[in-house]
Chains A and B, each alone.
Chain A
């Protein structure tokens, strides 16, 4: 075997080159570890993205979130009052820095006009759920009372089931679903949150052309 004699089958030695602290630094203690970006408290964040209504824009947003390792909790997309502009409400869990990074990454998309993290702002935060609940003659009245007290609305009444529409914040809907689970939920669908800042501020106005 030809080659570098220095690297042929000899026992490896320990890595060398541990660097001394600079003269200005404290020599007797190890330097503090550099803080990583983020690493803070994880909580639910709500991002609002105003995007151009171009083919594939939903795909671009969802593909980016997947590729950048962000887990979307919910995503609601709809038209706005402007004909070629759509609005996305994205809820996701992460610390503030991670979510800020997600927003910055979204800005890199050419079709994204504006992204705002409204988590810390006063907002109206609503979603709609349809719940198909198993109902019998013996418990239907009981279910309807719960629906009524929860400000839900029965929109379909059948021999063995009812479909109830409830709106409210995510925890409110969670609470309702927990309440009726005992009767048997046959089907559940939720729209995901749609969120709007309170007051006269408008995220959409800033993007009007």
Chain B
């Protein structure tokens, strides 16, 4: 078959070629500009009516949202069309929706307010899902907004249509599909109320494109109307008095009590109440991963971080305790290990706002359902004050255990002594040089545990970490939100090379929106925690543990981010100070020892008494 080539395929001569863009200053250019303006005016009359998209912006403003993280797309464009009319809300254009969701999460964790992220239908919505799941497992107040295809196209497999409502249903506190603009005020008011009330959590609102475009006069409901409209949502804030008395009796007879402080203390903003309670009763406070910052680590009664990679002395205290007072924590498997051997001598008082958490993982003697702050404030006048001297033998024994454990496991493997750079040394220096006053955002894996153990936390909500879902790639985008939420603090993203490579596209967002995140990239050219498990549990079968990365300094440079590099311990302080001196984002590339492990380690399925403290027989 022969193809007859027509005249049209000949390249046009320069004289006859027609450009779509007339040169500047010509009459043609002016005409095009006039037509363009007319078209815009036509699309958006100045005195236009209120549409669904306006309701969304109004609702965000009413809820006190000052910043949100989003990425545009076809069906969410009606919202982008009106966004310019609401300068009160700062829109951060992320480079990937997952980054937006983590940023909203980070913002919520440091401010205690509801974080907001948004994306379009289909892939935009599914990209948010990891961030929503992260927020669910860590009980983070978040409202995630997605556009959806016009109502008539739902169920027709339209372009970029996915049943995102069905996807987020089991991984949100509640979710909505809005097909009518008149429902938007109520739905937004409910969503924010649900997200932040009781045990916080993510709420997803899916809005069809036509609902964003419909005209509406629907008014925003008051908080009372919202509560009246949610008869099935009545979180129990105040504890039952009888249960409190039982708890007081347990506390009075306990000889070796330990408080286990969790994320609930931070959610309830009950850090002062916790300290007052601990001081009055002279009970040491251990904390979970997300409970970091519930008590300042330099407080005499702060005992440290518990669990799989927690301090040996803390786990030892729990294993020998006769009473655990668990406040706002949920006995996660990373905290208890094998439940059968967990705290074998202890009776348990469990305070949580979510009744479903009580008796879920461990059987408890005294369940108390209520807000951590209100419960602690109710308990404080009821408990007897204990003189420090009365607990002296117990506290002195704990102090002895602590000295022993810190002396043996400080700087984990000791690799830094050979001139190699060790990660725990890096995070300790970051903590020191930022005077323990920054926000520290962890990624997931070894870096997360080093950060939790060695930074030294003094302030509540200064530690941001994906604890429940363990989402790699969390650090940089979450730090972005954290830096915007608490601009008064320095913000450090401490990440491994694995997690960093998952979401490094947000470096551009940091630059474009001038978000001054300091990134400490702990590069061991490995998936360190994977390598550690393979070494210890899988007999050294290191499949896929090596993770070659790019030249991170060049990468940062390509984004216009100043990069610093440290390969030996003596370069660390200078690099940190240099990054701190940058006005804006900065990256430090720490090339750390490649095979450093994090110890102690409780192998999964084992108990808290089965900690591995060293490996390979060398003196550590």
Contacts and interface: CB of A to CB of B under 8 A. Distances in A.
A24 B618 contact: no
B359 A10 contact: no
Interface stretch (B25-33, B260-268, B337-345, B485-493): B337-345
B111 interface: no
Interface residues of A, number: 53
B332 interface: no
Contact of B610 (A8, A18, A37, A67): A18
Interface stretch (B229-237, B243-251, B380-388, B502-510): B229-237
Interface string B356-383: 1001111100000000000000000000
A100 B359 contact: yes
Interface in A13-30: 13, 15-22, 24-25
Contacts of A111: 232
Contacts of A76: none
Contacts of A15: 603, 606, 610-613
A7 B413 contact: yes
B536 interface: yes
A101 B606 CA distance: 25
Contacts of A24: 255-256, 322, 345
B618 A17 contact: no
A108 B596 contact: no
Contact of A63 (B169, B420, B595, B612): B169
Given A2-B594, A34-B339, A108 B345 contact: no
B616 A37 contact: no
A182 interface: no
Interface stretch (A52-60, A118-126, A137-145, A149-157): A52-60
A135 interface: no
Nearest to B422: A4
Interface string B394-426: 000000000000000000011100101000000
B359 A97 contact: yes
Contacts of A63: 169-170
B166 interface: yes
B595 A3 contact: yes
B611 A8 contact: no
Nearest to A113: B232
B359 A7 contact: no
B355 interface: yes
B320 interface: yes
A9 B542 CA distance: 12
B261 to A, nearest CB: 21
B334 interface: no
A110 B232 contact: yes
A12 interface: yes
A3 B556 CA distance: 26
Interface residues of B, number: 63
B616 A8 contact: yes
B231 A207 contact: yes
A159 interface: no
B360 A37 contact: yes
Given A4-B413, A25-B320, A110-B230, A34 B363 contact: yes
Contact of B316 (A4, A19, A51, A64): A19
Contact of B232 (A1, A34, A52): A52
A48 B316 CA distance: 44
A4 B609 contact: no
Given A25-B345, A34-B363, A101-B356, A17 B616 contact: no
A2 B608 CA distance: 32
Contacts of B610: 15, 17-18
B165 interface: yes
A179 interface: no
Contacts of B256: 22, 24
Contacts of B355: 104, 107
B521 interface: no
A6 B414 contact: yes
B593 A3 contact: yes
Which of A21, A22, A25 gathers most chain B CB within 10 Å? A22
B617 interface: yes
A11 B363 CA distance: 39
Contacts of B241: none
A35 interface: yes
A162 B615 CA distance: 74
B535 interface: yes
Contact of A109 (B232, B344, B600): B232
Contacts of A51: 232
A9 B611 CA distance: 21
B344 A3 contact: no
A9 B617 contact: no
B238 interface: no
A1 B420 CA distance: 13
B620 interface: yes
B95 interface: no
Contacts of B340: 33-34, 36
B540 interface: yes
Given A34-B362, A97-B359, A19 B618 contact: no
Interface in B279-327: 312, 315-316, 319-320, 322
A178 to B, nearest CB: 38
A17 B363 CA distance: 26
B173 interface: yes
Interface in B582-617: 593-597, 600, 603, 606, 608-617
B538 to A, nearest CB: 11
Interface of B: 165-166, 169-170, 173-174, 177, 194, 230-233, 255-256, 312, 315-316, 319-320, 322, 339-345, 354-356, 359-363, 413-415, 418, 420, 535-536, 540, 593-597, 600, 603, 606, 608-618, 620
20 contacts: A2-B594, A3-B415, A4-B596, A5-B415, A6-B413, A6-B620, A13-B614, A15-B603, A15-B612, A22-B345, A25-B345, A36-B339, A37-B362, A52-B232, A59-B166, A100-B359, A108-B173, A108-B356, A110-B194, A113-B231
Given A16-B611, A34-B344, 10 more contacts: A5-B418, A6-B614, A13-B615, A16-B614, A22-B322, A32-B344, A34-B339, A37-B362, A110-B173, A110-B194
